[in-house]
Amino acid sequence: MAYQKLQVSRAVAVIPSDTVNIPDPATQALTGIADFSVAGTLTDVGTTFTSAGIQQNAIVYNTTASIAYYVTKIVSDTALSLSPSSAGGVADAYVIYNPVSLGCVLYIGAAGNVKVTTAGGDEVTFVGVNAGTFLPVQVIRVWDIGTAATNILALW
């Protein structure tokens, strides 16, 4: 009997969030180091967000503080308004992805429950997911509340 092989071409480490979806790495628009110390604001004097094509609802991953945000407004070429309004540090690394996410499968690095939103919009909690396994469900969000598993990778 033949089996279907999981074929992955892209991956991103998941930052669980109760409000922000998992970004698609194919939509990566910009990386840098910025000031997140004012809650709900990203300031990067070394870039121009409008020239870089950053869009409203883009996903920002603060990889230093492990916080995921949506861009709510492009305030200027060097400042973005973010939601949720959690603060980070004054020199945090970030990646910005423009908003397209059709769903991905997950690799679970460390065991535990995993609460997700499926590509179809259902909220589901998978209980007792083992470390080193794949969750073969099309997912758009991994929730912070309700997820105990860690080291989760989103795979496309």
pLDDT (tens digit per residue) in 62-117: 999 999 999 999 999 999 999 999 999 999 999 999 987 789 999 999 999 999 99
pLDDT at 4: 59
pLDDT at 21: 97
3 occurs within a structural domain? no
pLDDT at 141 over 90: yes
**Within this chain, do residues 116 and 68 fall inside the same structural domain, yes or no?**
no
**Which of 57, 74, 97 is a domain's end point?**
97
State the pTM of this model.
Answer: 0.93
pLDDT at 2: 53
2 occurs within a structural domain? no
Q: H or E stretch including 79?
A: strand 79-83
78 occurs within a structural domain? yes
CATH assignment of the domain containing 91 = 2.40.30
Q: In whole angstroms, give the CA distance from residue 14 to residue 23.
A: 9
**Within this chain, do residues 91 and 129 fall inside the same structural domain, yes or no?**
no
**Within this chain, do residues 112 and 48 fall inside the same structural domain, yes or no?**
no
Chain mean pLDDT for the chain: 94
4 occurs within a structural domain? no
**Within this chain, do residues 105 and 81 fall inside the same structural domain, yes or no?**
no
pLDDT at 3: 52
Q: Is the Cβ–Cβ distance between 132 and 153 less than 8 Å?
A: no
Of the listed ranges 2-11, 28-37, 120-129, 141-150, the one predicted with least confidence = 2-11
Number of structural domains found in the chain: 2
**Within this chain, do residues 73 and 125 fall inside the same structural domain, yes or no?**
no
Nearest CA to 113 out of 99, 101, 129, 100 is that of 129
Q: Answer positive or negative: Cα dihedral of 37, 140, 122, 126.
A: negative
Q: Is the Cβ–Cβ distance between 114 and 142 less than 8 Å?
A: yes
Q: How much is the average pLDDT of 140-152? A: 98
Q: Which domain holds residue 151?
A: 11-17+101-155
